[in-house]
Structure 1
Amino acid sequence: METLSDVFATFSQRGDTTAFVHRTGVRRYVFTYLDLHALSLRMNRWLADQGVGEGDRVVLWGPNSPWWAVAFWGIVTRGAVAVPVDFMSGAERAEIIAGLTDAKLVIQSRDKLDRLTGRPSVLLEELGFLLEAVEPLATTHRPAPDDMAELIYTSGTTGNPKGVILTHRNLVANILQVNRHIPVVTPDFSFLSLLPLSHMFEQMGGFFTPLYRGAAIVYIRTLKPSAIMEALGEEDIYAIIAVPRLLQLLKGSVERELEAKGLGSIFRWLLKVGERMSRGGRSVLFRPIQRKFGRNFALFVSGGAPLDPEVFRFWNGLGFRVVEGYGLTECSPVLTANTMERQVMGSVGTPLDGVELRLEEGEILARGDNIFPGYFRNEEATRGAFVDGWFRTGDLGELDPDGWLRIKGRSKELIVTGAGVNVYPDEIEAILNRTQGVREGCVIGLDRGKGEEVHGVLILDGSGRPTEEIVNEVNAKFDELHRITSFSVWPEAEFPKTTTLKIRKFQVKERIEQGGGALGDGRGADRLTALVATITGSPLEQVTEGALLVNDLGLTSIARLELVNALEMEFRLDLEDSVIGPQTRVADLREIVSRREKVHIREHFRIWAMGGVALAVRRLLDTVLHGPLLRAFVTLKSLGIENLEAADGPVMFVSNHLSYLDQPAIMCVLPDAWRYNTATAAWEEFFFRNFKNLPQRLWKRFTYEYASVAFTVFPLPQSRGFRGALHFMGTLADQGMNILLFPEGERSRDGRLLPFQQGLGVMIRELGVPVVPVRIRGLEKVLPRGASWPQKGEVSITFGKPIHFRGESPTEIVDRARRAVEDL
């Protein structure tokens, strides 16, 4: 095996084995290896049609998903060069990279609010629709091992973009090296992909290795803790490729949940007890926690930055295996790693087979087939990166007597004080970040004319602990020459970071040197302000702390969902769109982001009411009660039932709303196969808010429980966020169930069609199901608004042809769906 084309050739042999599971937060989609092979060949053809040829650069700027993978392998089979760009990067950086590489095409995402213009481009999310009409191009490019496969621009924490050329030889060499060093991956494995695929650590550990071994990869839309834990609990995950900060976030999530249940002190005591037990014994002791990670979870693979020993102890103490490794993009990227048999806390392990390391004045030098040939169009940087054929990593390290490597820090971040003492920031940061009162901190060197001083930059946790007290506690653990000598409080809710959650210290240092840090509350958030301004379309100066998001800035129901999604992706926290109400101000939103507390909303969804015993009860009630009652008052006529034959379910029925009898009437005319496989959205507030006294409240609660079973009804809120309901709809659609929706939001008084709620467009786009328009006539006379008893009458129900949407905006979807109902 010499090139990525050899890896691609194995996909068709793996048949219907699962390659990807895509959890969008609403739906769950499965892609097999045959799907991946066929779609990649279609992508090959589509790229050829766009004029992309051998050696052309294609920018890939989107979130992790099966479509990112299809685009990547399409580029490989075309013989072009993939240029992955950090999804969290701004449009300015993406534009710079596109310019430096003379990109032939940009593949970007609709989830990015600021997109590239002025270049040939396509949205990643539209590839599924575009490739449907494309015939596969089976003639694939056969590259030479030393041909360029990828071009990755790294700025990391230094800010100077350099294009790292990675050849097919580099990548395949590292694939084989990694799998020889940690030979545990089998086709039974499932990897949870959390780090961006623009980062080589995730590519090698969580993309190339699983696909090389025929394993499955699970993608989730956001990195919020609840989505991660939900995927772990439902997808039988074996391994996670993680960076230390992500392991820290998961650690905090577990600890907060235990504290909330009053189990924090017991848990800490059990951790101490577990220190004297074997790994197997700890696994038994902490089985309730381990179960949350799935029955087969095997390991965390940590890299990208040194792992705090405290974080290692935590996960190791729970009985999990944490394998830490080390590498750089220029090394494809892995150089060293611990093994499944032995993990040494604080060490990044031994060199992989075929990798040579040596130390020169403390700096780690490396060579091997996985080392890149140079930087793209940057001969000066390439010359500076090598010495006598050895790659200079820029990292400082030491080897213990057994040959295990320990990382001391980046040579560029090493602080040399005025007294000539070398101070390693990582060592101080490890203590700082464990100190009460600190949510996150970093240490930089500031030169004020007498050599560098050790400067701490802190984001406080809001507990009110004095900053001086925090710094004094940290300094007490170091000798006088290695202590923090000055400090400031960062004026934003987060440090600027790479998508692997490493702090961009050069930006922190620039800001501090310009006077940007002060002894304040650390709660300013320029990124938050920018997000609110972008999503609401408001001028930046109007997004003040006291501005009401809805009334002052015009935040709509759709924009509210978009804002919450953006906040979750940007700050990696759990939110519900229901936290934003009419009285929510920018300052309130900032406080929510700063606290990072998971918002719990009590929902009333009844998945059990969609089948089983409840379905049998529903059939019985339809036969002996509901059917006879409806036919006693209504003469029903149906039109267009034959249109359902063309529907590739599940579908969403979208109907006008005239009467409380709309749902029973539609169900009555549907064939049984559709009737008993359709759930109906009903106004949540009717059941749970619109009551005046306890008897009325109890009556409405009874009617909801009855409707759940008798009519397969579920609640859809109108006065708060509907993301919980959208997630429930996705679960229904994944189970093959149809959904009936009345998007007018209220009953028409005279039969005329009212405006549709704009949230319908988001629902249809996220669910990805066809829409069947439905038009009811006559029920406004049988049981009109305000009537307490029905009158006899004739009613007609017309079903239109299914409508398939292909990437339209929510507004376009709503307009087209309403016209379809109106035209009936």
Structure 2
Amino acid sequence: MLLNSGNKTAIQYGSETITYHQLFAHIRHFASLYFIEHGQRAVVFSENRPGYIYAFYSIWKHQGVAIPVDFMATAAEVGYILKDSQPEVIFCSEKTKKVMQEAIAIAGISSKLFIIEEHESKEAANADGFEMPEPTLENTAVIIYTSGTTGSPKGVMLSYRNLMQNVKAVSDHIQIYNKDSRVLVLLPLHHIFPLMGTMIIPLKIGGMLAISPSMASEDLMATLQNNKITIIIGVPRLFAAIRKGVMDKVNKSFVARTLFAVAKKMNSKAFSKKVFGTVHKKLGGAVENLVSGGAALDPAVGQDFQTLGFEVLEGYGMTEAAPMISFTRPGHVRIGSPGEAMPGTDIRIVDGEITAAGENIMQGYYNRPEETAEVLKDGWLFTGDLGYLDEQGYLFITGRKKEIIILSNGKNVNPTELEEVLLASPMVRDCGVFALNDQLQLMIIPEMEAFSTTDPSAIEDEIRTKLIEPFNKSVSAYKRIMRFYVTEQELPRTRLGKLQRFKLASMVEIVAVEETLQEEITDPVFLMIADYLVKEKGRKVMPYHHIEIDLGLDSLDKVSFQSYLQQTFGVSPDPAEMAEYKNINALSEWVRENKTRMEESLVNWKDILQEKVSLKLPDTWITGQIALWFSRAFLSLYFRYKTTGLEKIPDGPCIIAPNHQSFIDGMFVASYLRFGQAKRTYFYAKEKHIRRPWIKFLANRNNIIIMDLNRNLKESIQKMAEVLKSNKNIIIFPEGTRTFNGGLGEFKKTFAILSSELNVPIVPVSIKGAFEALPRGSFFPKPWKKITVEFLDPVYPGQMSYEALAAQVKKQIQVTL
């Protein structure tokens, strides 16, 4: 199962080159660490790295059975596999050691544990005279654990014959692989698809594999370009991400869009490769085949790659078929179909269900004879998928007969398994897991007795924090609930009580909720992260949103997000750890505290405020003067009104910052300004209050800047900055909203940021009596109330922080109240 090609490169890992001779030497070293009997089992639990390959083949050197395990699995999940398989030896990495040690304790086994890094980099013994044994084809080679219908994973036993059938199919019969193939290793090797496609097959025929150090775009691009990759093996989610990056650039250019349309019409691979040569070079310039498997490829993705001059060879299969059942032949791509039956494999449709037979079909499920009998009947594998064969023998998938949910990243999820855990909570009366928009979602009926002391409006938050978040921390990333819905309706079930899962998605009410960013969110780190997530997820981002439960970031999204954080802030939180943060605001705080770049080399508020925005300051009409006269007369007659301290307003630009007691505070502050002061003093008004044409007409002629704080806070703040840079004044209420009790509320930092970065003073203004005259909920002010407005000494920013500056202004107002 492993060809020794001497000094030819076998593995490239970053800058590290391992020849076939060195590979054999490393395998010899790993094999020397332990001894197992023929047929005994050994586990490999690690992220992709050269040592993974050394450990795996050392098991085969002993003619043992290799069990690769998902390196992101939880201790409970690994513990189940260990208890079921009883391995003699376990290999893990430093990164997975803690989880493995917990899993060993859970399983109660005493296997030998080896840390890969402790042996991976050691000088390997000489490989002279070392040979891999020729396997007996009927012997079990690997056991791959996959989700089952019983709620616990099943071990799929694959023989060397099963594996060799796939090797021969894509190297002898369909010549995808050859000795000159250079294959990208990106997907985790515990899954049979990348295990075969990116490790076993290329090493069996003498090809080369290049391991990407991570799934981050920088590592991926560097691996592709430095190694002139010829075969990219991926799941649909990967190809969708690559296509999105390319198409975003195409759609920005009229010329590129035109060329793309022409290429699509011509349907010429040669023309497309010439026109989109830059795209091909970006992927290394040598890619011959893109191979997609693990889940169905979006036909639009396949079509766009074809227009760009690539063929995406899609396959269909499952772990039980090692893994391929059908595959597309080069030059014969049919968009929407995963191709024809693999050489040596027969496909039949039985009552609409796809069945397959051939030497690639598994031996059975480990220790599960009854479940094996359910899917293997007279040598035919009943896949649980529905489909048909057309007249040319092309297979088309139409649906799933089984309950297992297949996500676009190739992961299989048993919803029953998740429901059993959730239903054990006293908070849950009933629930159902389903997939919508390629995300796991949950419909939940709460057990109201558990919320007897909870405010009804807080039930959803309590479910989020006490049920969903802890649950998501306890399972692998791909099993996490990305969104949940609380309902009082009974879930759809048959008369026998079986959940009709396919009806759950139709219960989701599409409610248009206007989500708004609050004024107080002025932290540039949060704003930049939110802006990135808005573009990626196509929805507004709130500080309290969770990256998974609310925004639905999956593992590939989080890798992209990790890359963004690295480039922008110089921090790189592990994607698996991102979900540990309670919400986006908490993650932003961590980034702000640990960032190494933004302030020095990227973006800060000074840069933001210096950006040019389109703003024409409103002309001051005579109506402004008339309004001042009218308001003075009204205030003098209706209230016992007094204004002091106008002389403290400086001649240059300044921020006038009053406390906020009533909805006519603006009138109280501005009415007694001298005409020269009033003419150069501007208010801002929220766009939602200025929508009527006649109001907008007056606003544009009476020193009112219209801003959409909800939709574009950054631009709104920039507009305020433009007012100050134009040597004008602006009135900003630091509290952002009226007081509830007459006292001072929290002072937001927007005004302090403007003052500090533009070096303009702040004039605090104390308003007293307005709350008593016009409290919240009142429509008409009470007459003859005493109102005093006092302009206080200016506060200059100096070297104060935003927080200190805001606190100083608040303090000056506080002592007057």
Give the TM bin, normalised by the shorter chain: 0.5 to 0.7
- Given the alignment of the two structures, is residue 344 of structure 1 paired with residue 318 of structure 2, yes or no? no
Assess if the C-alpha contact under 8 Å between 2:45 and 2:96 holds in 1: no
Alignment match, 2:200: 208
The farther-off stretch of 148-157 and 349-358 is: 148-157
Can you list the C-alpha shifts for 1:108-160, whole angstroms capped at 9, x where unaligned?
Answer: 12223742124531222222256757999947655422111111100189853
Residues 74 and 508 of structure 1: is their aligned pair in 2 closer, same or farther, counting only changes over 3 Å? farther
- Given the alignment of the two structures, is residue 219 of structure 1 paired with residue 211 of structure 2, yes or no? yes
Quick one: which amino acid aligns to residue 587 of structure 1?
A: I
Assess if the C-alpha contact under 8 Å between 1:158 and 1:506 holds in 2: no
Assess if the C-alpha contact under 8 Å between 1:41 and 1:136 holds in 2: no
Residues 152 and 133 of structure 1: is their aligned pair in 2 closer, same or farther, counting only changes over 3 Å? same
Can you list the C-alpha shifts for 1:601-627, whole angstroms capped at 9, x where unaligned?
Answer: 7999xxxxxxxxxxxxxxxxxxxxxxx
CA distance in 2, matches of 1:412, 1:505: 20
What is the correspondence of 1:96-495 to structure 2 with a 5 Å cutoff? 96-112=80-96, 114-117=98-101, 118=104, 119-129=111-121, 132=124, 138=130, 141-155=133-147, 159-256=151-248, 262-263=252-253, 265-277=254-266, 278-413=268-403, 457=436
CA distance in 2, matches of 1:577, 1:132: 37
- Given the alignment of the two structures, is residue 18 of structure 1 paired with residue 9 of structure 2, yes or no? yes
CA distance in 1, matches of 2:323, 2:582: 44
Structure 1 residue matching 2:224: 3-state secondary structure: helix
CA distance in 2, matches of 1:354, 1:296: 30
Residue 301 of structure 1, CA deviation: 0.3
Assess if the C-alpha contact under 8 Å between 2:388 and 2:395 holds in 1: yes
CA distance in 2, matches of 1:360, 1:101: 33
Structure 2 residue matching 1:240: 3-state secondary structure: strand
CA distance in 2, matches of 1:444, 1:402: 36
Alignment match, 1:690: none
Can you list the C-alpha shifts for 1:569-624, whole angstroms capped at 9, x where unaligned?
Answer: 69775431872789x99634657999xxxx997999xxxxxxxxxxxxxxxxxxxx
Residues 497 and 300 of structure 1: is their aligned pair in 2 closer, same or farther, counting only changes over 3 Å? farther
The farther-off stretch of 505-514 and 94-103 is: 505-514
Assess if the C-alpha contact under 8 Å between 2:273 and 2:308 holds in 1: yes
Assess if the C-alpha contact under 8 Å between 2:97 and 2:115 holds in 1: no
Residues 566 and 408 of structure 1: is their aligned pair in 2 closer, same or farther, counting only changes over 3 Å? closer
Can you list the C-alpha shifts for 1:278-297, whole angstroms capped at 9, x where unaligned?
Answer: 11001111111211011211
Residue 195 of structure 1, CA deviation: 1.2
CA distance in 2, matches of 1:402, 1:593: 57
Can you list the C-alpha shifts for 1:490-518, whole angstroms capped at 9, x where unaligned?
Answer: 989x999999x9x6599989999799999
CA distance in 1, matches of 2:136, 2:212: 35
Structure 2 residue matching 1:152: 3-state secondary structure: strand
Alignment match, 2:23: 36
Residue 361 of structure 1, CA deviation: 1.1
Residue 454 of structure 1, CA deviation: 12
Residues 133 and 32 of structure 1: is their aligned pair in 2 closer, same or farther, counting only changes over 3 Å? closer
Identity %: 29
CA distance in 2, matches of 1:377, 1:303: 28
CA distance in 2, matches of 1:270, 1:361: 46
What is the correspondence of 1:625-640 to structure 2 with a 5 Å cutoff? none
Structure 1 regions of 5+ residues with no counterpart? 1-6, 415-424, 434-441, 461-487, 524-543, 548-564, 605-824
Quick one: which amino acid aligns to residue 397 of structure 2?
A: I
CA distance in 2, matches of 1:496, 1:312: 35
Assess if the C-alpha contact under 8 Å between 1:42 and 1:136 holds in 2: no
Alignment match, 1:762: none
Residue 163 of structure 1, CA deviation: 0.5
Alignment match, 2:68: 84
CA distance in 1, matches of 2:173, 2:480: 33
Structure 2 regions of 5+ residues with no counterpart? 105-110, 420-430, 440-463, 492-498, 517-541, 546-554, 573-580, 602-817
Residue 181 of structure 1, CA deviation: 3.8
Residues 189 and 132 of structure 1: is their aligned pair in 2 closer, same or farther, counting only changes over 3 Å? closer
CA distance in 2, matches of 1:146, 1:522: 60
Residue 387 of structure 1, CA deviation: 2.0
Structure 2 residue matching 1:122: 3-state secondary structure: strand
Structure 2 residue matching 1:115: 3-state secondary structure: helix
Quick one: which amino acid aligns to residue 335 of structure 2?
A: M
CA distance in 2, matches of 1:192, 1:144: 29
Alignment match, 2:723: none
Can you list the C-alpha shifts for 1:750-801, whole angstroms capped at 9, x where unaligned?
Answer: xxxxxxxxxxxxxxxxxxxxxxxxxxxxxxxxxxxxxxxxxxxxxxxxxxxx
CA distance in 1, matches of 2:25, 2:358: 34
Residue 269 of structure 1, CA deviation: 3.1
Residues 160 and 354 of structure 1: is their aligned pair in 2 closer, same or farther, counting only changes over 3 Å? same
- Given the alignment of the two structures, is residue 587 of structure 1 paired with residue 571 of structure 2, yes or no? no
Assess if the C-alpha contact under 8 Å between 2:41 and 2:85 holds in 1: yes
TM normalised by structure 2 equals 0.52
Structure 2 residue matching 1:576: 3-state secondary structure: helix
Can you list the C-alpha shifts for 1:427-450, whole angstroms capped at 9, x where unaligned?
Answer: xx99xx9xxxxxxxx999999xxx
Assess if the C-alpha contact under 8 Å between 2:25 and 2:124 holds in 1: no
Residue 307 of structure 1, CA deviation: 0.6
Residues 300 and 389 of structure 1: is their aligned pair in 2 closer, same or farther, counting only changes over 3 Å? same
CA distance in 2, matches of 1:354, 1:43: 35
CA distance in 2, matches of 1:46, 1:207: 23
Structure 1 residue matching 2:34: 3-state secondary structure: helix
Assess if the C-alpha contact under 8 Å between 2:22 and 2:127 holds in 1: no
CA distance in 1, matches of 2:474, 2:301: 20
What is the correspondence of 1:650-669 to structure 2 with a 5 Å cutoff? none
The farther-off stretch of 511-520 and 145-154 is: 511-520
The farther-off stretch of 323-332 and 141-150 is: 141-150
Alignment match, 2:428: none
What CA RMSD, in Å, does the superposition of the two structures yield over aligned residues? 4.8
Structure 2 residue matching 1:575: 3-state secondary structure: helix
Q: 2:56 aligns with which of 59, 67, 72?
A: 72
Alignment match, 1:733: none
Assess if the C-alpha contact under 8 Å between 1:336 and 1:348 holds in 2: yes
CA distance in 1, matches of 2:379, 2:93: 40
CA distance in 1, matches of 2:290, 2:356: 25
Q: Highest CA radius of gyration, 1 or 2?
A: 2
What is the correspondence of 1:760-775 to structure 2 with a 5 Å cutoff? none
Quick one: which amino acid aligns to residue 236 of structure 1?
A: K
CA distance in 2, matches of 1:602, 1:16: 49
Structure 2 residue matching 1:412: 3-state secondary structure: coil
Quick one: which amino acid aligns to residue 337 of structure 1?
A: F
Alignment match, 1:537: none
CA distance in 1, matches of 2:589, 2:57: 40
Assess if the C-alpha contact under 8 Å between 2:37 and 2:62 holds in 1: yes
The farther-off stretch of 329-338 and 568-577 is: 568-577
Can you list the C-alpha shifts for 1:624-662, whole angstroms capped at 9, x where unaligned?
Answer: xxxxxxxxxxxxxxxxxxxxxxxxxxxxxxxxxxxxxxx
Residues 108 and 521 of structure 1: is their aligned pair in 2 closer, same or farther, counting only changes over 3 Å? farther
CA distance in 2, matches of 1:107, 1:521: 51
